[in-house]
Amino acid sequence: MKMVKSLLLSSAAGIVAVAGAQAADLPVKAKPVEYVKVCSLYGAGFFYIPGTDTCIKIGGAVRVQAEYNTGGGGIPVGFGQTAEAGQGSFTRQGTNDINQRTRIYFSVDARQQTEYGTLRTYFRFGVQQTTPTDPVTGATFWDRAFIQFAGFTVGKTLSFFDGISFATFNYNNPRVMGDTGPNGITLWAYTAQFGNGISGTISAEDPTGRGKSVTNANLAGSFGLGALTSDAGLAGQSATNNGFGFPDVVGALRVDQAWGSAQLMAAMHDASGAYYGATTAGSQQFGHPGNAYGWAVGGALAVNLPTWGATSNVNSQPNVDQFQIQGVVAKGAAAYTSNGIGPYQLYGGGQSVGLAWLTDGVFNSGSSVELTQTWSVMGGYQHLWTPNWRTSVYGGYLNVDYDGAASAMLCSGAGGTFGTVFAATATISGTCNPDFHVWQAGTRTQWNPVSQLDIGVDVLYSKLQIADSGAVVTLPANSARPAGNYTLSDQDVWSVMFRVQRNFWP
């Protein structure tokens, strides 16, 4: 009996052990999987961040473009930016006929509904390789990073002065409009909504974002082909204007409705000079001119028009024909009328050259800052031929006027009767007049074989007209251009850009 009892107890213990092991192997009930949910509040491409009420959209693009007679992303050679102006010699060793750019974008747009309205955070950055500015190693960049909440916008985005964007019509970078779209600008702004699509904005914006330039006519390189001499402590500025005293103040009144949009805008800009003297050291012992304040006023209009039956299947492009125009008048705030602050130099056939210089103001020893008067107008029209083909035509005009005092300073600077060019003496035989004009006209045709793929070509004609055409200037050597006498004359250039871009946002 004792043996039977031991066997029964052993068997029972074994059964319990096996049952316990099997129970341990049973699957534990998993928590419900939280799948990503589509967020339809803000349009296509948004989804909820799991576990939150925040919607997010991730986007980006890859852009590849080839440029003829342009550089730095569509700037015509010789037209108002140092690297591209330096190519204006049109020699085998001094000018690239073809430049290239490859760019990668990455963007994040996060939005959340609050009791104060939508809270939005957006940023965009990328990597690019561009000739002639960064032809080998490439460069990183970021052109958008802002927060919007309860009517406030803070961070880097489009200036609230910009009523339209020339990107609607073209790939090239015109000189007849002060558009901040390519690079963005840091600002602190508040927008009030009045209903029916009407809004008003007051904005404090970084003056260096548009390029702040006040020229000391006593300095080498202050006019003509001389580049702005950069101060290491004032990134993005010339060493001849004052430091960042206060931001530009921008005000805009705007209406956005189904027919399009319209805007009136104004800006105040600090155009004060640094110190007197003939060097960039800017010693305080030389004294300085009194503070100077520039301004700009403008208007913009964008109208949506019928497409005569064609509708687009391209989400990233407008689905209607569009007409847009913007005009701006400025004094001491040149970058509101043109992106082309700095030197203009363009050589023509034989011994001819066009020289010009765009700056907010001019001063020399003992003088005040003489503010430069500018005005510009740019417009364009884009037509949708078929769902996959669109063509635009665009053009504009920039006028630059130096008053008598500024002209005298630039024409009789430290370097001689034509100021200092190439950081060396250059003299002129005949009338010296730094006023100039820029005409530009172009057309772009784009094919979208599938949604989110852009393939297009943009052709731009640019003409530089100088007021002292016909005079003879004696210049030092420039690249392969020899030193000698050159006739000042109007110059022009044809630019072509071919672009392929794949967009990865819905």
3-state secondary structure 23-49: HHHCCCCCCCCCCCCECCCCCCCCEEC
Q: Quick one: average pLDDT of 411-423?
A: 47
pLDDT score for 370 = 96
Q: What contacts 353, CB < 8 A, 6 or more positions away?
A: 345, 346, 347, 473, 475, 486, 487, 488, 489, 491
Domain assignment present for 6: no
Strands (DSSP E) found in 408-478: 420-421, 424-425, 427-429, 436-447, 453-466, 472-475
With pLDDT > 70 as the criterion, what percentage of the chain qualifies? Answer: 82
Integer CA distances (angstroms), 84 to 79, 95, 96, 130, 232, in order: 7, 9, 10, 12, 22
Span 244-273, pLDDT tens digits: 788 999 999 999 999 999 999 999 999 998
pLDDT score for 309 = 62
pLDDT score for 506 = 54
Span 1-24, pLDDT tens digits: 444 445 444 544 444 444 454 444
pLDDT score for 251 = 98
Pairing of strands 214-216, 361-363: parallel
Domain assignment present for 478: yes
Whether the pLDDT of residue 201 is over 90: the answer is yes
Q: Which of 146, 148, 251 is nearest to 200 (CA)?
A: 251
Distance in angstroms (rounded) separating the CA atoms of residues 71 and 101 = 9
Integer CA distances (angstroms), 395 to 181, 266, 378, in order: 18, 23, 6
pLDDT score for 24 = 47
Span 393-409, pLDDT tens digits: 999 999 999 999 998 88
pLDDT score for 190 = 98
Domain assignment present for 8: no
Say if CB 434 and CB 417 are below 8 A apart. no
pLDDT score for 30 = 56
pLDDT score for 245 = 84
Q: Which residue has the higher pLDDT, 96 or 328?
A: 328
Say if CB 189 and CB 150 are below 8 A apart. no
Say if CB 188 and CB 149 are below 8 A apart. no
Distance in angstroms (rounded) separating the CA atoms of residues 313 and 447 = 12
Span 117-149, pLDDT tens digits: 999 999 999 999 998 888 888 899 999 999 999
Structural domain including 354 reads: 56-503
Helices (H) and strands (E) counted in the chain, each on its own, are 3, 29
Q: Which of 364, 82, 359 is nearest to 225 (CA)?
A: 82
Domain assignment present for 16: no
pLDDT score for 415 = 39
Q: Which helix (H) or strand (E) holds 15?
A: helix 2-25
Upstream peptide bond of 132 is cis (omega within 30 degrees of 0): yes
Q: Residue 31 CB: number of other CB atoms within 10 A? A: 6
What the block records as the tokens of 182 is: 């390519």
Q: What contacts 347, CB < 8 A, 6 or more positions away?
A: 78, 88, 89, 90, 353, 354, 481, 486, 491
Say if CB 341 and CB 80 are below 8 A apart. yes
Residue 126's domain is classified under what CATH number? Answer: 2.40.160.10
Distance in angstroms (rounded) separating the CA atoms of residues 307 and 292 = 48
CA dihedral for 490, 396, 166, 160, sign (positive or negative): positive
Global pTM reads 0.88
Q: Quick one: average pLDDT of 33-48?
A: 86
Distance in angstroms (rounded) separating the CA atoms of residues 26 and 382 = 67
Domain assignment present for 51: no
Domain assignment present for 17: no
Q: Please report which residue ranges of 343-445 form alpha helices under DSSP H.
A: 404-411
Domain assignment present for 20: no
Domain count, the chain: 1
Whether the pLDDT of residue 336 is over 80: the answer is yes
Average pLDDT over the chain reads 85
Domain assignment present for 37: no
pLDDT score for 220 = 52
3-state secondary structure string across 72-129:
CCCEECCECCHHHHHHHHCCCCCCCCEEEEEEEEEEEEEEEEECCEEEEEEEEEEEEE
Q: Quick one: average pLDDT of 320-346?
A: 93
pLDDT score for 263 = 98
Sort 445 into a burial class: Cβ within 10 Å, 0-12 / 13-18 / 19+. Answer: middle
